[in-house]
Amino acid sequence: MIELKDITNARQVIAGRVHRTPLMSSMSLGRRTNTHLHFKAEMFQKTGSFKPRGAINKLSHLTEEERKRGVITISSGNQAQGLAYAASLFGISATVVMPHTTPANKVNATRGYGAEVVLTEGALLPTCLEIQKERNLTMVHPFDDPHVVAGHGTIGLETLDDLPEVEAVFVPVGGGGLISGIATAIKLSKPAVKIVGVEPIGASAMWQSLQRKAVVNLDRMDTIAEALAAPFVGELNLTLVQKYVDELVLVSDDEMIEALGLLLEWCKILAEPGGAAGFAALLFKKANIPSGSEVVCVLSGGNIDPSRLGHFLLKRQR
Degrees (nearest 5) of the Cα angle 12, 17, 19?
A: 95
With beta carbons less than 8 A apart as the criterion, state whether 140 and 59 touch: yes
With beta carbons less than 8 A apart as the criterion, state whether 218 and 232 touch: yes
Q: Distance (Å, rounded) from C-alpha 206 to C-alpha 229?
A: 11
Q: Which DSSP letter does residue 267 get?
A: I
Among the residues of the chain, which ranges form H helices?
4-14, 27-33, 51-60, 64-69, 78-90, 104-112, 124-135, 146-162, 177-189, 205-212, 235-244, 253-262, 277-283, 306-317
Residue 300 a catalytic site member: yes
Residues 6+ apart with CB under 8 A from 53: 10, 14, 18, 45, 82, 151, 152, 154, 155
Catalytically annotated residue among 60, 75, 76, 300: 300
Backbone angles phi, psi at 138, to 5 degrees: -95, 125
Catalytically annotated residue among 40, 46, 51, 286: 51
Q: Distance (Å, rounded) from C-alpha 19 to C-alpha 199?
A: 26
Residues 6+ apart with CB under 8 A from 256: 200, 224, 225, 273, 274, 276, 277, 280
Distance, CA of 249 to chain centre: 16
Residues with a catalytic annotation lie at 51, 300
